[in-house]
Structure 1
Amino acid sequence: MKRREFFKAGVAGAMTAGLAPFSANASSDCSPLNSRNHDQWFDMSQGQFRRPDRRQTRQYDVAVIGGGLAGICAAVAAARNGAKVVLVQDRPVLGGNSSSEMRVHVHGVSFLRPDGKPERETGIIEEILLLNRFMNQQESFPVWDHVLYEFVTREPNIELMLNTQALRAYVSGNVIKSATCWQATTETEFEIKAKQFIDCSGDGLLAAQAGAQYRTGREGKKEFNEQYAPDQADGWQMGATLLMSSVDMGQPMPFEPPSYTIKYEAEKSNKRRKFAGYENGIWWIEVGSDDDIIAEFEKNRHTLMGYLYGVWDYIKNSGKFPEAENMALDWVQSLPGRRESRRFIGDYILSEPDLLNHKHFDDAVAYGGWSLDEHNPGGIENLNDPPSFFHAHFHQVYQIPYRSLYSKNINNLLFAGRNISQTHIALSSSRVMGTCSLMGQAVGTAAAICVANDVSPRQIYTDYLTQLQENLLRDDLYIPKRPANDEADLARQAAIIVASSTSTGDAQLLTNGISRDIDGQVNHWMSRGLPADVVFEWQQPVELSNVEIKCDTNTKRNIMMLKESKNDDVFINAVPPELLKQLQLEARVNGRWQRLAVVTNNRTRLIKFTFEPLTTTAIRIRLEQTYGAPNGKLFEVRAYQA
């Protein structure tokens, strides 16, 4: 089959025209960039002209497009589950909206009513946030970029491609065979072949090019029985925002707005357009769209720059903010952070009633709980309305089904982030990055299972769903109302589980399959002071090579980085004091205790011990020190044979 026959244009012809440098129909007078036909590269060392060949073909098990937090979690999950992975990111840094280019807080289930406490995400995203607390105590967003870089590049099964845009999908039947990617910094065209593709790019260009079905804009009330949807479907999408930050210079700092400034009309503004904390940015400097929000991006970016400086001019020169006299801008975002564009269609479309009614899904793989935070579609161009409607707040988390995370019509395509299969109103809650990260870990794990078993994402739902959920629970991704029940976990077969001391909980709870206190139920054991031991004993000897522990990091307190660096009952700006720092593992072999491992500077909630297989009748875990808490707390202990 000819190469052209593999190509399916999933977006408007204008998009294809925009890729003219790569067109196979380019004339001899205007050769495609990848041909290098007219490249006059003169090699001084050889004294001759030569033609650089910068076209490469790479083969992987899983290709993840988009290096935001969802994409990072997808890539790491797939790699840790045995897949060879490429992570393709079109920016020079990782992190998407959380990166130093945009500096959006990594919210998830950050506030639940009525007490305002979180139900914080664990798994890979928590591992990232904890690493940041160790490596970035100064809470620098540029350093955060490099924390993420460290987190990804240390994984041996991941190849990272920065400054690389996935431009085209080549499809045979309903299967993506390869993606054409352009790396701007090296002028290299990559043909990336993979068995499974995961689009975490937000806008989803690759998925659209593959012909994956999607929708944009708002659904009408009747389609999904959504009370907060408009009466009739329309094209409105939540907009993109520009942020800024300012610093007190200790002396008066006059401000003269640039020529493109758009005056902020305070007299027309809804009273909910507040300026509290303006020195760290104002989230409602936003412009939406009722048409093609992607095509309008550059126009909207210029408009947003005008509005941002108009707001700052109002703060500095209106006389309403005398405390701003000594303030000066020290950072202004140049790349708007987008909230919404394409939403791809899966086997299930998540909707408002699913969230508000806390629908139970047999294929739940993630959860959310951010409010129904539908931003004013017009953004700052509609000053009369509040910047966001905050339709409803949650008292408990809701489930996200796996069937919303893979394509209905492309057989090897998954997605995670704001582009999943959901309605506009559902998106208003699930779009926050902590929630998107859980989706990423879920689809990365699913993709690895697809590769290992040579099956499609849909077959995971029909034939491998239990394996997917058990893998996620083992890797510390919490699934609401779904306790772990891993038959291979030998800790569940222990005849005796006993602790040296107990202040709260019960050591027996360490095998109940629920790795956090939730829904008013205690699911932990906590010592009375340190050191303290917990022992698992079997009636008959067992062969072990792995022991896994989930300790405490206080999931009722947020650990993401904030520009205002809060440290209170809801946020902490340091390493959680509850986290275990030092512990050791012993096994009883032939009647004598044998030390297997010692950890002195633990940095994760999920602690894994791997050792040469041995036959034992008991293991003993000794908790020796935390990062400040007086007692040690565990939520789960698992044990496995090689």
Structure 2
Amino acid sequence: MKRRSFFKTSAGTVGVASILPMAGCTTARVNSKGERTTDKWTQVGTGKTGLPNRKKTLNYDVAVLGAGMAGISAAVAAARNGAKTVLVQDRPVLGGNASSEMRVTVNGVHGLRVKDKKQPKIERETGIIEEIMIENWYYNPQESYPVWDHVLYNFCVREPNLTVMLNCQATEAIMDGAKIKSAVCWGYTNETEYVINAKQFVDCSGDGLLAATAGAEYRTGREGKAEFNESYAPDQPDGWTQGDTIMMITKDMGRPVPFYPPEYALPFDYEKAFKDKHRKIKQVKEGFWWVELGDEFDTIAAREDNRHKLMAYFYGVWDHIKNSGDFPEADNLALDWVGSIPGRRESRRFMGDHVLCQNDMLDYRHFEDAVAYGGWSLDEHAPGGIENLDDPASFFHQGFEKLYEIPYRSLYSKNISNLQFSGRNASLTHIALSSTRIISTCAMMGQATGSAAAMCVDKGVNPRDIAQLHIKELQEQIIRDDTFIPNRPANDPKDLVRNDGMLFASPAKSGDVNLLTDGIGRDIYGEVHHWESNSLPAEIQVVWEKPVELSKVELKGDTELHKKIAMHKNPAKNEGQHTTVPPELIKTMTIDAQVNGKWVQVATVENNLVRRIKTEFPTVRATAIRLNIKEVHGKPTAKVFEVRAYKS
């Protein structure tokens, strides 16, 4: 629905519907300027009174609505690529489902079901999402979820082009035809209405309220088999969405502790639930994702009712675990944290120029406009959730043997010209969403849309123009920024190393230095795309026959993408994964440039925490550069996947 036309007024008319005097009132609560007249602020120390200034207009290049991992990635990408950006979040913390409020693990594609057992299964996501998780292990080795919230906050607020607005929800779009002109936002804690003007909008809020009020086309529920020829879809379309879940964590008290359920707890029908192994209690430390409720029509309207019922169902399950006698391993356990806000899996899905479907993924369709990838199984949760004990809690329809591609045309609106979306509200079928909803996959979509939004601002175009005219440039940018696109090697014409640079290096333990310009920034499916030194310190040189002007040198190091890196609610799950800064990561190095036949140090890198290392220095005219890798965070060798050089 397209509402207010940006305060258009005629003489003597108030143009904002929400501040018109109410019918039947004898005294108007606002004056002709739209100011409240019944709320005069009195400061007793001075005796001064005045009307609170609770309306503000803000101007940005890019507005990102929703600060889950998709929104964070979009906002940071837009800011880093030069756009003045605002990130609006309706909660007091960042992270969305991954925050301390809901504590969903930042999973990704590590569920690949590779047939060749000699090949590693994991092809972990890189880019902004990896940067965040590495920083978390650096700042938060104690695995505290409240501290994780603040790691995310620091990650965002330090970006010079990014403003973060917490406790603020975008409630309405102000339209100019098929274009969003502004977002009206309400600040809960400061009673302030904001009008945010922006050139580009990215709705990463999951539910997509701003996009919906803009009139962006969307759908909810399940498509029938026939529409997209999806074998796992129901025979006929219906309204069911995957449900919301609350999570918990327990604490071992070292002695038996009783549990007394709250009065509103609902009894758990464990006999039916455990029949045919449709529900399982594999452990009693954390859980349970299958305490889940959706809705067959409007899962957003049902949220508060479902929140109460989810808590009631959860306490019924825990009562059974603690008091049935069937789980003696729970005798010493007490609830340490129980979520009060359900984590959501599905609601609105906005339509783009392409709707990603089951067969696109299972057939590993190649998209010329691919900007992200996925690999989590098609994991559709049962309609009705815990209220439907006749079906399994989840249908793991089919896993993936390799990565599937996500096209950019699924990440912008087909009918609102300057609107993109990332995460579970992207242009997907219900079945496709059962895989793409995984948090790290959503984050990669976010980095793509944030980069595209900045490009739109820079070029004065809209997302469809990027898809049709500038997609290769967008792909090159996000690959340069250390995301990965299957079947799309980098080929940046501005990269001076690829343009006539000759590479030399210290003796190699594995790989070849010439692989550093093959355009693939990782080893994948058993293929080698790296150079690894035989020892440390180690050196890489790039030599040009004629002098080149350069001011930036970049490289991609190793973080062992075949190991998991996410923080878990249950630390016992950390076995076999990184719980520190990856020991393979380059820590300390210097860069020299050969100017007029002499080596001059131009950059120093110390205590590095990122896979993609960027250096910038005053422009030099050089015939060679030398990368001196001195120290890695925990290994005696250094592995590199890519070296680039640029002139600003």
TM-score bin, normalised by smaller chain: over 0.9
Q: Does residue 397 in structure 1 map to residue 393 in structure 2?
A: no
Structure 1: distance between partners of 2:573 and 2:71: 29
Q: Does residue 39 in structure 1 map to residue 39 in structure 2?
A: yes
Query: SS where residue 491 of structure 1 aligns?
Result: coil
Contact 1:567 1:573 survives alignment (8 Å): no
Q: Which residue is equivalent to 1:12?
A: none
Q: Which residue is equivalent to 1:57?
A: 57
Match for residue 122 of structure 1 among 114, 120, 126: 126
Contact 1:7 1:169 survives alignment (8 Å): no
Contact 2:567 2:574 survives alignment (8 Å): no
Q: Which residue is equivalent to 1:362?
A: 368
1:365/1:144 CA distance change after superposition, 3 Å: same
Contact 1:7 1:171 survives alignment (8 Å): no
Q: How far is 1:6 from its partner?
A: 5.3
Contact 1:100 1:142 survives alignment (8 Å): yes
Match for residue 610 of structure 1 among 610, 613, 616: 616
Structure 1: distance between partners of 2:201 and 2:402: 33
Q: How far is 1:46 from its partner?
A: 2.8
1:272/1:503 CA distance change after superposition, 3 Å: farther
The aligned amino acid for 1:398 is: Y
Q: Which residue is equivalent to 2:18?
A: 22
Q: Does residue 592 in structure 1 map to residue 598 in structure 2?
A: yes
Q: How far is 1:499 from its partner?
A: 1.0
The aligned amino acid for 2:132 is: I
Q: How far is 1:119 from its partner?
A: 1.0
Contact 1:500 1:534 survives alignment (8 Å): yes
Q: CA RMSD in A?
A: 1.8
Q: Does residue 520 in structure 1 map to residue 516 in structure 2?
A: no
Match for residue 252 of structure 2 among 248, 251, 267: 248
Query: SS where residue 419 of structure 1 aligns?
Result: coil
Contact 2:493 2:499 survives alignment (8 Å): no
Structure 1: distance between partners of 2:134 and 2:337: 26
Alignment of structure 1 residues 164-183 onto 2, 5 Å:
164-183=168-187
Q: Does residue 631 in structure 1 map to residue 637 in structure 2?
A: yes
Q: How far is 1:324 from its partner?
A: 1.0
Q: How far is 1:117 from its partner?
A: 2.7
Match for residue 578 of structure 2 among 550, 553, 572: 572
Q: Which residue is equivalent to 1:201?
A: 205
Q: Which runs of 5+ in 1 are unaligned?
A: 9-19
Q: Which residue is equivalent to 1:16?
A: none
Q: Does residue 505 in structure 1 map to residue 511 in structure 2?
A: yes
Identity %, equivalent residues: 57
Q: Which residue is equivalent to 1:108?
A: 108
Q: Which residue is equivalent to 2:607?
A: 601
> C-alpha offsets along residues 103-154 of structure 1, whole Å, 9 cap, x if unaligned?
0000111221135732111111111111111111111110000000000000
Q: Which residue is equivalent to 1:490?
A: 496
Structure 1: distance between partners of 2:17 and 2:632: 57
Structure 2: distance between partners of 1:250 and 1:202: 41
Normalised to the residue count of structure 1, the TM-score between the two structures is 0.96
Q: How many residues align?
A: 630
Structure 2: distance between partners of 1:54 and 1:463: 43
Alignment of structure 1 residues 218-229 onto 2, 5 Å:
218-229=222-233
| 323-332 vs 149-158, which moves further | 323-332
Q: Which residue is equivalent to 1:563?
A: 569
1:30/1:386 CA distance change after superposition, 3 Å: farther
Alignment of structure 1 residues 24-423 onto 2, 5 Å:
24=20, 26-27=22-23, 28=25, 31=29, 35-114=35-114, 117-269=121-273, 270=275, 271-423=277-429
The aligned amino acid for 1:486 is: D
Q: How far is 1:23 from its partner?
A: 5.3
Structure 1: distance between partners of 2:560 and 2:160: 30
Q: Which residue is equivalent to 1:15?
A: none
Contact 1:370 1:393 survives alignment (8 Å): yes
Query: SS where residue 390 of structure 1 aligns?
Result: strand
Structure 2: distance between partners of 1:197 and 1:587: 42
Contact 1:366 1:399 survives alignment (8 Å): yes
Alignment of structure 1 residues 458-497 onto 2, 5 Å:
458-497=464-503
The aligned amino acid for 1:87 is: L
Structure 2: distance between partners of 1:386 and 1:621: 55
Structure 2: distance between partners of 1:170 and 1:496: 54
Structure 2: distance between partners of 1:138 and 1:471: 35
The aligned amino acid for 2:47 is: G
Query: SS where residue 391 of structure 2 aligns?
Result: coil
Q: How far is 1:519 from its partner?
A: 2.8
Query: SS where residue 212 of structure 2 aligns?
Result: helix
Contact 2:4 2:175 survives alignment (8 Å): no
Query: SS where residue 294 of structure 2 aligns?
Result: strand
Contact 2:284 2:330 survives alignment (8 Å): no
Query: SS where residue 308 of structure 2 aligns?
Result: helix
Contact 1:132 1:147 survives alignment (8 Å): yes
Structure 1: distance between partners of 2:506 and 2:385: 59
Q: How far is 1:22 from its partner?
A: 3.4
Contact 1:36 1:53 survives alignment (8 Å): no
Q: Which runs of 5+ in 2 are unaligned?
A: 9-15
Query: SS where residue 374 of structure 1 aligns?
Result: strand
The aligned amino acid for 2:156 is: V
Structure 2: distance between partners of 1:462 and 1:551: 33
Structure 1: distance between partners of 2:60 and 2:432: 33
Contact 2:506 2:538 survives alignment (8 Å): yes
Contact 1:557 1:569 survives alignment (8 Å): no
The aligned amino acid for 1:637 is: V
Q: How far is 1:3 from its partner?
A: 8.4
Structure 2: distance between partners of 1:571 and 1:494: 40
Contact 1:109 1:118 survives alignment (8 Å): yes
Q: How far is 1:495 from its partner?
A: 4.5
Structure 2: distance between partners of 1:224 and 1:24: 47
Q: How far is 1:620 from its partner?
A: 0.9
Structure 2: distance between partners of 1:347 and 1:30: 47
1:32/1:289 CA distance change after superposition, 3 Å: farther
| 583-592 vs 469-478, which moves further | 583-592
Query: SS where residue 304 of structure 2 aligns?
Result: helix
1:398/1:340 CA distance change after superposition, 3 Å: same
1:6/1:221 CA distance change after superposition, 3 Å: farther
Q: How far is 1:570 from its partner?
A: 5.0
1:541/1:4 CA distance change after superposition, 3 Å: closer
Normalised to the residue count of structure 2, the TM-score between the two structures is 0.95
Structure 2: distance between partners of 1:552 and 1:151: 21
Alignment of structure 1 residues 519-558 onto 2, 5 Å:
519-558=525-564
The aligned amino acid for 1:38 is: T
Query: SS where residue 554 of structure 1 aligns?
Result: coil
Structure 2: distance between partners of 1:31 and 1:231: 55
1:180/1:363 CA distance change after superposition, 3 Å: same
1:418/1:567 CA distance change after superposition, 3 Å: closer
Contact 1:217 1:424 survives alignment (8 Å): yes
1:566/1:123 CA distance change after superposition, 3 Å: farther
> C-alpha offsets along residues 353-406 of structure 1, whole Å, 9 cap, x if unaligned?
001000000000000001101011211111122111110011111000000000
The aligned amino acid for 2:95 is: G
Q: How far is 1:32 from its partner?
A: 7.3
Structure 2: distance between partners of 1:22 and 1:326: 55
Structure 1: distance between partners of 2:141 and 2:49: 51
Q: How far is 1:568 from its partner?
A: 6.8
1:332/1:505 CA distance change after superposition, 3 Å: same
